[in-house]
Every structure is written in structure tokens, then in C-alpha cells.
Amino acid sequence: MMVLYILVLQRFLIQLVLNNCMLVLTGNPGVGKHTAASEIMKQNTMYEIIDINNLAIELGLAEKAKETLEVYVAELKIKMKQKVSNNSLIVGHLAPYVLDESDVDVAIVLRKNPMDLIKVFKNRGYSKEKIKSNTAAEFIGVTFNDSISSFGKEKTFQIDTTNKTPEQVTSIIDKIVNGKNKGDIVDWFHLVEENKDFFKNIE
């Protein structure tokens, strides 16, 4: 009975902490953005999920081109200003380009070992060119650096989702929002030293 009480209390506290927070989940494809968002929604139904890509499609601000979705970023940024609220959970790799610092309370950049991402991309049927570009972007931290530029260092945090369950990722997000965790320091350059064929794997 006591264990059940603690679990209920924990869920309530997570909902209380995350409520009224404009939260962004961003990062490269395959890092677990939508999985984490779904887990958050299980704990806090007060959130309104805004999927950036889906919103762009709904508003007619996106066109499919080969393997990518071409989004009219400038126009979408205006619409996002009208859409976000205190209980927005904004999900998408385009977040740093369609939101400003004033639109966001906390920005979480999900990261994943590029070697694992290659497997994800291959399972999704990505072309070699798309695998190479997305893996390279993760390797050098494009989304993280762009998030810092858009939202500032104090609002931007990283989580390495490699080998973590959705529940573990969500728990870290909760701690970050609550000021009890500063996220992970992510640097993939050691992979080159450990795996001399690293760049061959993305060709």
C-alpha cells in the first residue's frame, strides 16, 4: 500500500513540476523525441503537444521533396508564436529555427550515439546520403549548438538517450525542469579513436 502511495505521489509531483512550463524536445531524427513526449503525456495530461512537422503540414507550410520535408520556416515561426502557451510540449528537430528564447522555458536536446543512429536510419530505409548527413549532424552536435543560439545556454540541456529507457529519459527531464539535474555532457569525438572505421560506416 505504501509503495502504491509513493508511486501516485511521485506521478503527482512530476505533473506539478512540469505543469505551466513551455518545454521543447528537439534533436536529430531517431533520438527518441516522440517516444519521450508520449511518456511525458502519460504522466501529465495537462500538456498540449505541438508536433512541429505535423503543424507545418496542417497549415500548408511544408512540401515533401525526395526524402525530406521542406518547411517554410519563416512563415511557420509566425504561426508558432500564436500557438505556444504555458502548457506547450513542443516536439521537433526544427524547434531552434521556429522558436525564440522568449517562447521557451526549457529546451531538451536529445542525443544518441551515432553508431546506434546508423542502425536506426538503416531500419527506416534512409538513403546513404540521408544517413550520412543526419549522422554527421549528430556527431558534431548541430541541433544542440543551434538550440543554444536560439534559446541560450541557461535554457538548453542535453540528454544522451543511448541505452536509456523512455522512463529513464523522462525522469531526467523532470529533474532538469526541477533544477536538480543539468543534463549530460555529450561528445562523440571519442568514437573516432575507438572505431577507426567510423566514417566508413556512414558512407
Question: Higher-confidence residue: 197 or 97?
Answer: 97
Q: Cell 500500500 sits at which residue?
A: 1
- Burial (Cβ within 10 Å: 0-12, 13-18, ≥19) of residue 185: exposed
Domain span at 122: 21-51+86-201
145 is a domain residue: yes
35 is a domain residue: yes
26 is a domain residue: yes
| 49-92 pLDDT, tens digit each | 999 999 999 999 999 887 788 999 999 999 999 999 888 999 99
The CATH number that applies at residue 160 is 3.40.50.300
68 is a domain residue: no
- Spatial separation of the C-alpha atoms in residues 44 and 137, rounded to whole Å: 31
1 is a domain residue: no
What total of structural domains would you count in the chain?
Answer: 1
182 is a domain residue: yes
Sequence-distant contacts of 65-74: CB under 8 A, at least 24 apart: 67/126, 67/127, 67/130, 68/130, 73/97, 73/98
167 is a domain residue: yes
| 127-142 pLDDT, tens digit each | 999 999 999 999 999 9
